[in-house]
Amino acid sequence: MTKIVAFYLPQFHPTPHNNEWWGEGFTEWTNVGKAKKLFPGHYQPKVPADLGYYDLRYSEIKEKQVKLAKEAGVSAFCYYHYWFGDGHQELELPFNQVVESGKPDFPFCLCWANESWYRKFWNKDGEVTEKQDLAVQKYPGPEDHIAHFNSLLPAFRDARYLKIDGKLVFMIYKPLEFEKVEEFMELWNRLAKTNGLNGFHFIGYSLLIKEEYDAIKQRGFDAVCSCRLKRHLHRGFGWAFRKALSYLTNWPEVYSYKNVIPTLIGEEEINKNDVYPTLIPNWDHTPRSGKRGYLFHHSTPELFEKHCEDVLSRISRKPENQQIVFLKSWNEWGEGNYMEPDIRFGKGYIHALKRAIKSQIKP
């Protein structure tokens, strides 16, 4: 049966650095709550329903999230993981609580979001003119990789940790920007086996063009997570028209979700067992980027259900152990990219995914 693995953002609790950088008490909800409509019909702000403006320091919230995820048919959470080198971590508390407490009883894996954090400054044309370093991604070398592995060893030994073909699933968000990633993966596989584990199923994440797939595989990754979130932003007439319209109207770039969803899966995800597609319920980055962002307009549970049915049916011919689908995302509210109930659609997206999964079950 197809495994659906949902990305999970742990940004919903205060941290010392976020307090320092963005103000006391900052969490992802800060951007979500202050979002504004930027054009007629723009669905903002997005307001959570069943779980409210939650704080991930509380275990009952994580239990309720898992209950909803199971209702939707999600198989596991893939927690974003932030290790900047030299022991510098961010947002590690929620996942550490999951490992240390043994709860919720739900499969998990990790995606190392290996990119620097910046404070960005834009000019009047929406171009980034300056970046202020907040947390710089570094790769100090083998000793740091060993410390990184050891910090996660309790999670790797946890029976809940997601495996493919008996190997621990570990994703790297920027696989082609990681110098000497081949040496990192070789070292971690050795460390895993030294600790009685079968090694890793390393997945490289790709947001851009299909030519990246071969480059990622050539670096030694076992598979590619193909997220076609930006494939529609091709440098053609449609893109140029939207850029011009955005400039003239002072709106963000707007794309119809109905028109985008056919582009969210391609031949590579269908024909290559080691390329995993991604389901995308919606996208709206404007709570973070304002008029400089882009978004999918008029997403509905009904359209999302069609998207899910299309993707699930088209990968059904793969071997069962390769029927892996990622879901972006469970709770990225600041990017309008979530499955959790809101006040407009309630559990609509949860029920849509559940129906789409049920439609693939043969009598």
| Integer Cα distance of 356 and 360 in angstroms | 7
Per-residue HEC secondary structure of 115-146 comes to CCEEEEEECCCCCEEEEEEEECCCCCCHHHHH
Who contacts 280 (Cβ-Cβ below 8 Å, separation ≥6)?
227, 228, 229, 261, 264, 296, 307, 328, 337
Give the separation between CA 155 and CA 151, rounded to whole angstroms. Answer: 9
According to the model, what pLDDT value does residue 174 have? 97
Rounded to whole angstroms, the Cα distance separating 43 from 286 reads 11
Angle at the Cα of 296 from the Cα atoms of 226 and 287, rounded to 5 degrees: 100
CATH value at residue 232: 3.20.20.80
What is the pTM (predicted TM-score) of this model? 0.94
At residue 119, the pLDDT reads: 84
How far is residue 274's CA from residue 98's CA, in Å, rounded to a whole number? Answer: 29
Question: What pLDDT is stored for residue 72 in this prediction?
Answer: 98
Alpha carbon distance 188, 132 (integer Å): 32
Q: What is the pLDDT of residue 236?
A: 46
pLDDT of residue 110: 99
Q: What is the pLDDT of residue 237?
A: 44
CA 243 to CA 310: how far, in whole Å?
30
- The confidence score (pLDDT) of residue 361 equals 83
* Tens of pLDDT, residue by residue, the chain (363 residues): 899 999 999 999 999 999 999 999 999 999 999 999 999 999 999 999 999 999 999 999 999 999 999 999 999 999 999 999 999 999 999 999 999 999 999 999 999 999 999 986 544 444 555 678 999 999 999 999 999 999 999 999 999 999 999 999 999 999 999 999 999 999 999 999 999 999 999 999 998 666 789 999 999 999 999 999 875 554 444 555 555 555 555 678 899 999 999 999 999 999 999 999 999 999 999 999 888 888 999 999 999 999 999 999 999 999 988 999 999 999 999 999 999 999 999 999 999 999 999 998 876
Structural domain count of the chain: 1
Domain range holding 155?
3-359
Q: What is the pLDDT of residue 77?
A: 99
